[in-house]
Amino acid sequence: METADSDLALAAAAGDRAAFSALISRHYDRIHALCWRLTGTKAEAEDLTQDVCMALPRKLSGWRGEAKFTTWLYRVVVNAAHDRRRRQAVQAKAASGWGDYELARQDEIATGREAERWLYEAMRALPGDLRDTVALLFGEDLSQAEAAEVLGIGEGTVSWRMSEVKKRLRDFAAREAKA
């Protein structure tokens, strides 16, 4: 019988390296997939995944077992993505090379297929809270209740966010059609 995540997390929090290794082995792909959905690029997803895995031993000491381990883990990943976005926003404001940024962005768009380009551009146009909600509901196939728990908001807020996402995607598509 496989050891429960909660038992592994408690053991890992107490310093059991084998338990920590088992948790990482069990959930690495899940962490990476969510990081990919939250960042939209392979390189950033890999960096964020490594950041999360490196922070987990310290974070596990704060896990109280009140929620499912995977719900808690999703929250850790979402918080790490928020932190990364904040750092990038500060760096972007400090950078003076907007031309370099735009050239790199155009190269990235040109290398992808049209459908992927549209989806990534549309997702990037969304504020972080809406993007996080979409990533959890569609990328991770969570229910609205589960996404609400991960994000620390009410189910009604999740529903409103999805309504807002649909509205913004329709607007984005209309602007693209005119261009």
pLDDT digits (tens, 9 = 90+) for 54-81: 999 999 988 788 889 999 999 999 999 9
At 144 the pLDDT is: 92
Q: Does domain 1-109 sit in CATH 1.10.1740.10?
A: yes
CB 45 within 8 A of CB 36: yes
Q: Are 81 and 89 in contact (CB under 8 A)?
A: no
pLDDT given for residue 125 in this prediction:
83
Region 30-50: what's the mean pLDDT? 94
Q: Find the range with the poorest average confidence among 6-15, 40-49, 56-65.
A: 56-65
Q: What is the pLDDT of residue 108?
A: 67
What does the alpha-carbon distance between residue 48 and residue 154 come to, in Å, rounded to a whole number? Answer: 27
Q: Return the pLDDT at 160.
A: 96
* Choice among 7-11, 45-49, 169-173 with the minimum mean pLDDT: 169-173
Domain boundaries, the chain: 1-109, 111-178
- Residue showing tokens 């109280």: 64
Domain 111-178 has CATH 1.10.10.10: yes
Question: How do residues 82-120 score in pLDDT, each as one tens digit?
Answer: 988 888 877 776 665 666 666 677 776 666 667 666 777
pLDDT tens digits for 132-143? 998 898 878 899
Q: Which residue has the higher pLDDT, 125 or 59?
A: 59
Euclidean distance between CA atoms 92 and 69, whole angstroms: 34
pLDDT in tens, 140-179: 889 999 999 999 999 999 999 999 989 988 888 888 778 7
List, as one string, the DSSP characters of the chain.
-PPPHHHHHHHHHTT-HHHHHHHHHHHHHHHHHHHHHHH-SHHHHHHHHHHHHHHHHHHHTT--SSS-HHHHHHHHHHHHHHHHHHHHHHHHHH---HHHHHHHHHHHHHHS-HHHHHHHHHHHHS-HHHHHHHIIIIIS---HHHHHHHHTS-HHHHHHHHHHHHHHHHHHHHHHHH-
